[in-house]
A and B are shown apart, each in its own frame.
Chain A
Amino acid sequence: MTAPVVVAAGLTLSGVTLRLGDGDSIVTALDAVDLRVRPGELVAVVGPSGAGKSSLLAVAGALTTPDEGSVVVDDVPIGTLGRAAQARFRRSRIGFVFQSGNLIPALTALDQLRLAVDIAGRGLGTRDPLELLAEVGMADKARRRPHELSGGERQRVGIARALMTSPTLLLVDEPTAALDRARSQEVVALLARETARSGVATVMVTHDHDVLHHCDRVVEMVDGRLSPQDT
């Protein structure tokens, strides 16, 4: 009898180990990490600097390949893909929200979203960029460039850009690093709302404990290991 196929929607990390450096200076950035994030779930990863939070995002986002363990996104073991295939996978299935938005200076808010479609290939743009900007409260500033936007507005555009291609997995890197308390609450609330609305599996790395109440789950990373109760 054939075993039933289990579709692992969302993100599944199993026994992921990542070592950085070489020779005597090898550092274990991720140490046998297990993590499961379901579609529509917002998981926050907290921990001190150097704990391995960004490494977790890099591995989950197919930006680097772990030394051990498996990374599965939507039933695709992305750790085994070649670099070109990983890039293809990223542009179609993974959205990134970076610190301070990391928007392209030459582009208006609207064009930031169109760029995501252009990179992914025109056929993959499944959402209307103006509609999406309206969804994140930025429709009236669609023609403005990053230097004409506040930090919170840039992050809103960054979130909309990441959702533009309807990704399966949303990886968010310190979204409130450059924001005041009020803007931080707004941005993470927006992330939580969009995660629930679009059904994307979201992993957010943050130092900001004030925003954790918006998250479905919080895991702590220390010295490359996730806190036991959350694995």
Chain B
Amino acid sequence: MFLAWRELRFARSRFVLMGGVVALIAVLVVLLSGLSTGLVNDGVSGLQRLPVTAFAFAGGTKTDSAFSRSVIDQSQVTAWRTRAGVADAAPFGNQLVNGKTGRGLPVDLALFGVEPDSFLAPTVASGAALGTTADGIVISPTLRAAGLAIGDVVTLDRIGTRLTVIGVLADQHTFGHVDVAYVPLRTWQQVHAGAGPGDAVRPEAYQEATAVALRAAPGRTIDLAAGDAAAGTTSMTRDASFAASPGYTAETSTLTLIQVFLYAISALVVGAFFTVWTIQRGHELAVMRAMGASTRYLLRDGLTQAFVVLVASTLVGLGIGVAGGGLLSGTSMPFALSAPAITLGGALLVVLGMIGAGAAVVRVTRIDPLVALGGQR
């Protein structure tokens, strides 16, 4: 490392330039990571916060339309309740609706219909619990930004059903970028049937829900395939059901692809820099070879330089990215900084950069010490 440090100081402008590129990539990694986390939160945080192991949808339901097309009935809930490993099974309704507040402001809601006494009932941070009144809804705190508060009334478009805000949840609950409002299952069933105030509701509508929400007994697993066969459903784990959130797969896969490209670009940039750097140093490396420097000595020297530059520039980039991302967090942009995601991104930048540098620095093993004599033999 004797030479590595001194060369870093001596050629600092070159290393700063290269480090600047890595730092910029690190900034982008943070921003994309924040956007990715924000979009995941916006897309499926409502599902993530449900104490659910799996959902059983109507038989034959495709993943990408599961929550919008699936309709199950009470008998399927009952069938699942008796399955081995199932601690709880309850009907779960999910429907996107449009409405207006009392002040005429449009508001979109992801109505989660649950039985107030089931394991799906949400815990409110303020206000009254779900089920206190038949038309009472418990909303995600993100709806406060739309101007909703406890006591406000939301009137649903077309059917005119009036829902009153009675409670607010602690954390963001959204589904498909729409804020979640929990509603008693019976009210949800009326809305789902398209029945407004005073309208007759077909009796079987009160047997319906979107899916059976399943919770496994502690330490047990649920045999989903066997349960599906018995109940006539198509089930998937909660995490697999995220793909049923509108736009979720397209958004996350696009961002993942961009991030993968960023990592690849970073590795290539670092590899290209150290290739040129190693070629430029060819003669002095040959001199050191002639002086008896071992391959390990030269590799350690080159890789130390790469590691120092990568770690320093990644830390600077992450710092700038976090500072900039902090400003975005309070805006309407779906953006959330996640320490594990940022740490992983930074670590990947360093590791992949080291692989790029390693591929370049390995050239020192092929340096011929005879070059130090001018190569004239």
Which A residues are closer than 8 A to B by beta carbons?
18, 20, 29, 49-50, 52, 54-55, 57-58, 61, 63-64, 84, 87-92, 94, 96, 98-99, 102, 104-107, 111, 114-116, 118-120, 145, 173
Residues B291 and A54 in contact, CB atoms below 8 Å apart? no
Top 10 A-B pairs ranked by shortest CB distance?
Answer: A91-B292, A106-B10, A90-B292, A55-B377, A118-B2, A106-B7, A119-B293, A102-B287, A54-B376, A87-B292
* Cα A206 to Cα B283 with chains together (Å): 21
* Cα A90 to Cα B291 with chains together (Å): 6
A-B contact pairs, 13 of them (CB 8 A): A52-B377, A61-B290, A63-B290, A63-B370, A87-B292, A87-B294, A90-B290, A90-B291, A90-B292, A91-B292, A105-B284, A107-B6, A145-B10
B369 at the interface (CB under 8 A from A): yes
Chain B interface, >50% SS class: helix
* Cα A54 to Cα B324 with chains together (Å): 60
Q: Residue A115 contacts which of B3, B9, B283 (CB distance < 8 angstroms)?
A: B3
Please, which residues of chain A bring their CB within 8 A of the CB of B373? 54, 57-58, 63, 98, 173
Q: Residue B291 contacts which of A29, A49, A84, A116 (CB distance < 8 angstroms)?
A: A116
B219 at the interface (CB under 8 A from A): no
B368, closest chain A residue (CB): A63
Least Cβ–Cβ distance between B314 and chain A, in angstroms? 24
* Cα A92 to Cα B6 with chains together (Å): 23
Least Cβ–Cβ distance between A22 and chain B, in angstroms? 14
Query: Known contacts being A29-B377, A98-B287, is A64 close to B292, with CB within 8 Å?
Result: no
Which B residues are closer than 8 A to A by beta carbons?
2-3, 6-7, 9-11, 283-284, 287-294, 297, 369-370, 372-374, 376-377
Please, which residues of chain A bring their CB within 8 A of the CB of B289? 87
Q: Residue A104 contacts which of B284, B290, B294 (CB distance < 8 angstroms)?
A: B284
Query: Known contacts being A105-B284, A106-B6, is A119 close to B369, with CB within 8 Å?
Result: no
Please, which residues of chain A bring their CB within 8 A of the CB of B376? 49-50, 54
Residues A58 and B377 in contact, CB atoms below 8 Å apart? yes
* Cα A54 to Cα B286 with chains together (Å): 15
* Cα A97 to Cα B275 with chains together (Å): 28
Please, which residues of chain B bring their CB within 8 A of the CB of A18? 377
Please, which residues of chain B bring their CB within 8 A of the CB of A99? 374
Please, which residues of chain B bring their CB within 8 A of the CB of A96? 287, 290-291, 372
B297, closest chain A residue (CB): A119
Residues A106 and B287 in contact, CB atoms below 8 Å apart? no
Please, which residues of chain A bring their CB within 8 A of the CB of B288? 104, 115, 119
Please, which residues of chain B bring their CB within 8 A of the CB of A105? 10, 284
Least Cβ–Cβ distance between A28 and chain B, in angstroms? 11
Least Cβ–Cβ distance between B144 and chain A, in angstroms? 60
* Cα A64 to Cα B291 with chains together (Å): 14
